C-alpha cells in the first residue's frame, strides 16, 4: 500500500514549484508548428533529469519538420496506461492582444489563477502529469507499465506526426496499453465520449439578371411580359431558405436525441459544463454569393461546420443533411430542376471517440476522483474533439479528464487555470497512477 497521504503533502508543499513550472511552460510560445523549442529546451530536459522512466526519447516523426514528440515508457506486469498531452497551443492574433489583460506569453498570477495562452488547454494538464509522477517518486514509486506522450499538432489535427506517430512508436517498442488518459481541460469531469465534426458546403445556382428586373422576377406579369424564373433567380434568397431548413434539422435532431452523457447535463450529477443540446449542431460559418451590385445573385454558397454524436455517426449525419436538402429542393420550382450541390469534409473530418462507461479504468478514476475531491464525479461527453479519437483507432480506449475547462477562455483572450485545480488534478492523477498501474 502506498502512502498517499505523504504524496498529497508533498504536492501541497510543492504548490509554488508546480505553479512556477506551469508558468514557465506557458512562456514557451509553442503554437502549432512551432513546438520544437518547448520540447527540446524545456520539457525533455526536465523529464531526463527528474523522471524515472526506462526509456525516453525526443521523437521526430517527420524528417521534413522540426516538430518532435516526447515519448517515455516503463514496462511492467499490470494494466498498461498511456498518458497523453499536446504541447501545441492556439496562436494569439495581433488584433486580439488588446483584449488580454496581460501578455499571453508572459503569464501572470491573479486571484489564485494563472493567466496565459495554454494555461487550460493544456499546459495545466501536462504540468499535472509530470508533477504527479515526480510526487510519487518522492515515496519511492517508480512508473511501471506506464507510457507518456507529449505530442505536437493536436490543434490542427496533425495526428499523423503527433499522437498517431508517437503512439505507434510506443507500440512498436513493445508497449501494451489497456487505457489512455488525456488531460485535456474537462473541469475534472470524466468525458467518456466526444462528438465528431466535419465541414460541408452547399452551392446554389441561380440566374443573373439586371436588378431592375427584380419586379418581373418576383411578381406575375400580364401576358407577353416574361416573369419569374424566365427572367432571373436570386441564389441568395434560395440559400437563405436552405439555411432555415438546416436550422430546423438541427433543432429536431437534438431534441429527439437520447444520450446518456452528451448534451444532457452530466451523469449521474446533471451539472456538467457542456451545456444542454451540445450533441448535434450545424453552424453556418460563411455565406457567400453574388458578383455585382446591379445583378441579381446568380450563385450562392454556405460553408458549415457540423458536430454529431457517435451514436448517429458520420455516414448517417451526412445522409440526414443530404436528404433534408434534397426533399426540400423537391418542393421548390427552381431547385427541383437545379439541385443544390453538396460537398462534405472538404477541409476536415474529425471522428468522435467513445469509451464504455463501465471500463475498469473509468471506475477506478471515478473512485479516486471522489476520494480526493470528496465530491460526486460527473460523467459527461466532450462537445469538442481531441486526439483520443486517434488513440481509439489504434485500439486504445480512454477518456479525457483534466483541470481547466472550456469556459476558462480556451482559444480566446485571458485564458486561465485556477492554481487549486492544478494542485488537485496532480493529486488525483497521482492516486490514479498508484491504483491503476500499481
Ligand atoms: Zn486541447
What pLDDT does 339 receive? 98
- Output the CA 229–ligand 1 centroid distance in Å: 50
What pLDDT does 46 receive? 98
pLDDT tens-digit map of 216-254:
999 999 999 999 999 999 999 999 999 999 999 999 999
pLDDT above 70: residue 1: no
- Output the CA 54–ligand 1 centroid distance in Å: 27
Mean pLDDT, residues 298-311 taken together: 97
Average pLDDT, the chain: 96
**Looking at the DSSP assignment, which residues form a beta bridge with residue 108?**
115
- Output the CA 184–ligand 1 centroid distance in Å: 5
Confidence at 284, pLDDT banded by 50, 70, 90: very high
In angstroms, rounded to a whole number, what is the distance separating the alpha carbons of residues 7 and 134? 10
pLDDT above 70: residue 353: yes
Q: Tell me the pTM.
A: 0.93
Mean pLDDT, residues 288-303 taken together: 98
- Output the CA 155–ligand 1 centroid distance in Å: 7
pLDDT tens-digit map of 143-156:
889 999 999 999 99
- Output the CA 86–ligand 1 centroid distance in Å: 7
What pLDDT does 245 receive? 98
Percent of the chain's residues with pLDDT above 70: 100
Range 196-350 has CATH code 3.30.200.20: no
CA distances from 44 to 51, 55, 89, 425 (A): 10, 12, 18, 22
Strand-pair category, 299-308 with 196-205:
antiparallel
Q: Which residue has the higher pLDDT, 246 or 438?
A: 246
In angstroms, rounded to a whole number, what is the distance separating the alpha carbons of residues 173 and 178? 16
Angle at 126 between CA 92 and CA 17, to 5 degrees: 100
**Residue 289: exposure state from Cβ atoms within 10 A (0-12, 13-18, ≥19):** buried
User: Residue ranges of the domains in the chain?
Assistant: 4-194+352-437, 196-350
- Output the CA 432–ligand 1 centroid distance in Å: 21
Confidence at 29, pLDDT banded by 50, 70, 90: very high
In angstroms, rounded to a whole number, what is the distance separating the alpha carbons of residues 405 and 31? 19
- Output the CA 410–ligand 1 centroid distance in Å: 9
Q: What is the grid cell recorded at 308?
A: 454529431
The count of C-alpha atoms lying within 13 angstroms of the C-alpha of 337, restricted to the half-sphere facing its C-beta, is: 6
Confidence at 79, pLDDT banded by 50, 70, 90: confident
Same fold, 4-194+352-437 and 196-350: no
Contact call for residues 98 and 164 (beta carbons, < 8 A): no
- Output the CA 127–ligand 1 centroid distance in Å: 14
What pLDDT does 274 receive? 86
- Output the CA 128–ligand 1 centroid distance in Å: 14
- Output the CA 235–ligand 1 centroid distance in Å: 39
Percent of the chain's residues with pLDDT above 90: 92
pLDDT tens-digit map of 354-367:
999 999 999 999 99
Q: What is the grid cell recorded at 359?
A: 471500463
Fold of 4-194+352-437: Aminopeptidase (3.40.630)
Mean pLDDT, residues 388-398 taken together: 97
Least confident of 106-120, 257-271, 320-334, 345-359: 257-271
Amino acid at each position: 500500500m502506498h502512502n498517499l497521504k505523504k504524496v498529497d503533502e508533498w504536492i501541497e508543499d510543492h504548490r509554488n514549484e508546480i505553479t512556477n513550472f506551469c508558468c514557465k511552460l506557458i512562456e514557451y510560445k509553442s503554437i502549432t508548428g512551432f513546438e520544437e523549442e518547448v520540447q527540446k529546451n524545456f520539457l525533455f530536459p526536465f523529464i531526463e533529469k527528474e523522471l524515472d522512466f526506462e526509456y525516453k526519447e525526443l521523437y521526430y516523426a517527420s524528417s521534413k519538420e522540426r516538430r518532435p514528440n516526447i515519448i517515455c515508457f516503463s514496462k511492467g506486469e499490470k494494466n498498461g496506461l498511456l498518458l497523453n498531452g499536446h504541447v501545441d497551443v492556439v496562436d494569439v492574433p495581433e488584433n486580439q492582444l488588446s483584449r488580454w489583460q496581460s501578455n499571453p506569453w508572459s503569464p501572470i498570477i491573479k486571484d489564485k489563477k494563472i493567466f496565459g495562452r495554454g494555461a487550460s488547454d493544456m499546459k495545466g494538464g501536462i504540468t499535472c502529469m509530470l508533477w504527479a509522477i515526480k510526487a510519487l517518486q518522492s515515496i519511492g514509486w517508480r512508473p511501471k507499465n506506464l507510457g507518456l506522450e507529449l505530442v505536437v499538432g493536436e490543434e490542427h489535427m496533425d495526428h499523423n506526426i503527433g499522437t498517431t506517430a508517437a503512439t505507434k512508436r510506443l507500440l512498436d517498442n513493445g508497449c501494451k496499453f489497456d487505457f489512455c488518459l488525456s488531460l485535456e481541460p474537462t473541469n475534472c469531469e470524466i468525458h467518456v465520449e466526444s462528438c465528431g465534426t466535419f465541414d460541408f458546403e452547399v452551392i446554389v445556382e441561380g440566374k443573373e439578371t439586371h436588378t431592375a428586373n427584380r419586379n418581373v422576377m418576383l411578381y406575375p406579369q400580364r401576358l407577353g411580359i416574361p416573369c419569374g424564373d424566365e427572367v432571373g433567380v436570386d441564389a441568395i434568397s434560395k440559400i437563405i431558405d436552405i439555411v432555415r431548413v438546416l436550422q430546423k434539422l438541427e433543432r429536431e435532431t437534438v431534441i429527439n436525441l437520447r444520450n446518456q452523457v452528451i448534451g444532457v447535463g452530466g451523469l449521474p450529477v446533471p451539472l456538467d459544463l457542456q451545456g444542454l443540446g451540445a450533441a448535434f449542431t450545424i453552424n453556418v460559418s460563411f455565406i457567400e454569393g453574388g458578383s455585382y451590385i446591379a445583378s441579381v445573385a446568380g450563385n450562392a454558397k454556405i460553408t458549415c461546420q457540423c458536430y454529431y454524436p457517435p451514436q448517429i455517426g458520420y455516414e448517417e449525419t451526412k445522409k440526414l443533411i443530404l436528404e433534408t436538402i434534397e426533399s426540400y429542393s423537391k418542393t421548390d420550382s427552381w431547385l427541383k430542376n437545379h439541385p443544390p450541390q453538396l460537398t462534405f469534409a472538404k477541409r476536415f473530418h474529425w471522428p468522435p471517440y467513445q469509451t464504455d462507461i463501465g471500463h475498469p479504468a473509468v471506475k477506478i478514476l471515478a473512485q479516486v476522483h471522489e476520494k480526493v475531491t470528496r465530491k460526486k464525479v460527473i460523467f459527461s461527453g466532450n462537445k469538442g474533439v481531441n486526439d483520443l479519437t486517434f488513440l481509439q483507432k489504434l485500439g486504445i480506449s480512454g477518456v479525457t479528464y483534466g483541470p481547466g475547462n472550456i469556459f476558462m477562455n480556451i482559444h480566446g483572450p485571458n485564458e486561465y487555470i485556477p492554481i487549486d485545480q492544478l494542485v488537485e488534478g496532480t493529486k488525483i492523477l497521482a492516486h490514479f497512477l498508484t491504483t491503476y498501474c500499481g
